Structure 1
């Protein structure tokens, strides 16, 4: 007779305003460590039904998956702490970090999934998505199926792909909002000039395409990245 499959046990670091909804949306048993956390965090975790195991060492010894949801500047240090504690399961970094940082964190673990959260805290379906990339992404997504948090696996996405998507999304939404607010306040003194200097450099890099029609996306991106630009007729410009 075959043994019954073991219940999934997930650890959540840390159940803040967003993190607690990630934990609540995850199937199976969800653990958290209250050591050093505030009374407000303790109450959020209790209201969400998370199981307090006291400290990080107890969490990593029990959970087969740990999900990190913390301020971006603390993502690397938190991952180092989990790795140093001997965690041998799947580590999911769902923080707003760069692809380079995601790959650096991923190197600490044998099983790693790069994640990015887009939307508000996942309190109701249809508002928030968890994008996932990496070889174990499907297994992570399975824990959120049918919940308020919608998992999306980036097919063929390597480690860093989900973080790149988050960076692109944030650049578009927050960047354009900041630019429009600066334009609206154009008569005010003391506005930062970084937007306009950056725009000038973008147009300078794309200057070779000024008279061109139908330039490929690949050539435009190469020019923006500072790679050798190409003429409109396809000849390399050095």
Structure 2
């Protein structure tokens, strides 16, 4: 089996590390990639083809793991060339997922929940072809939600409304605590109710948010656009904070 990768960030890099089998071969391309991405691909030692079109043609499963803003364009450009399963792992709205479905024959709506580099993330799937990917459970815990394209995308957005809003609140609270030279005490008192590992998890969440604020802002835009009939007061406030 051949798995093609479009996008080689943390998700793709760690999937290569998790899915180890003599029967599975990974392929990608460095066409148009940044120097940092090219270095990551070289370190992974997976096969590199000349173009992503060739990757799409030759693979049995094509995985798209890019930024939300590029997800639809990637599907338009390469989805038509793959005859196998097209697994979209981008943090996009159901609306975008339905658009992607117009360009792809065998779309599976996917999401990796949990830190991908933790060693125990969960892969959620929806779509009629999802059952054909359940073999991945041998390498990464895999759950099929339904046959409906869009269901996993909705769950991703709902999760993001919580996690990204919470991250923005943590950043703001920590900034204020620093101003009063009470950062240590701030985490101490919260740890009393939130658990002993709260400080470590919070600082990791804050750093991750600050280091990828542009991408997370794009994801919040997707949430606001899709759930436009809802007020989403907290989500809009979180977006404003991240944009600062």
2:144 matched residue in structure 1: 153
Contact 1:129–1:150 (CA<8 Å) still a contact in 2? yes
Contact 1:117–1:129 (CA<8 Å) still a contact in 2? yes
Give the Å deviation of 1:167. Answer: 0.7
In structure 2, how many angstroms separate the alpha carbons of the residues matched to 1:76 and 1:59?
Answer: 17
Contact 2:65–2:89 (CA<8 Å) still a contact in 1? yes
Mapped pair 1:164 → 2:151 = no
For residues 47-66 of structure 1, what are the structure 2 equivalents within 5 Å? 47-66=43-62
Higher normalized helix content (fraction of residues): 2
For residues 70-85 of structure 1, what are the structure 2 equivalents within 5 Å? 70-84=66-80
Unpaired runs of 5+ in structure 2? 180-228, 232-244
1:174 matched residue in structure 2: 164
In structure 2, how many angstroms separate the alpha carbons of the residues matched to 1:37 and 1:185?
Answer: 36
Contact 1:24–1:49 (CA<8 Å) still a contact in 2? no
Of 167-176 and 44-53, more deviation after overlay is shown by 44-53
In structure 1, how many angstroms separate the alpha carbons of the residues matched to 2:147 and 2:170?
Answer: 32
| Distance 1:168-1:62 versus aligned 2 partners, 3 A rule | same
2:119 matched residue in structure 1: 125
| Distance 1:130-1:184 versus aligned 2 partners, 3 A rule | same
Mapped pair 1:18 → 2:8 = no
Unpaired runs of 5+ in structure 1? 1-7, 189-223, 227-238
Max Rg structure: 1
Contact 1:95–1:117 (CA<8 Å) still a contact in 2? no
1:138 matched residue in structure 2: 131
In structure 2, how many angstroms separate the alpha carbons of the residues matched to 1:65 and 1:175?
Answer: 34
In structure 2, how many angstroms separate the alpha carbons of the residues matched to 1:25 and 1:76?
Answer: 26
For residues 37-48 of structure 1, what are the structure 2 equivalents within 5 Å? 37-48=33-44
Contact 2:5–2:65 (CA<8 Å) still a contact in 1? yes
Superposition RMSD in Å: 2.5
1:107 matched residue in structure 2: 102
Deviating beyond 3 angstroms after TM superposition, the runs of 4 or more aligned structure 1 residues are 179-186
1:206-237 C-alpha deviation (Å, 9 max, x unpaired): xxxxxxxxxxxxxxxxxx869xxxxxxxxxxx
Which structure exhibits the higher relative contact order, with contacts defined as CA atoms closer than 8 Å and separated by 6 or more residues? 2
- Number of aligned residues: 178
Contact 1:125–1:150 (CA<8 Å) still a contact in 2? no
1:103-128 C-alpha deviation (Å, 9 max, x unpaired): 11122122110011222233x532x2
Give me the TM-score of the superposition, normalised by structure 1.
0.66
Give the Å deviation of 1:172. Answer: 1.1
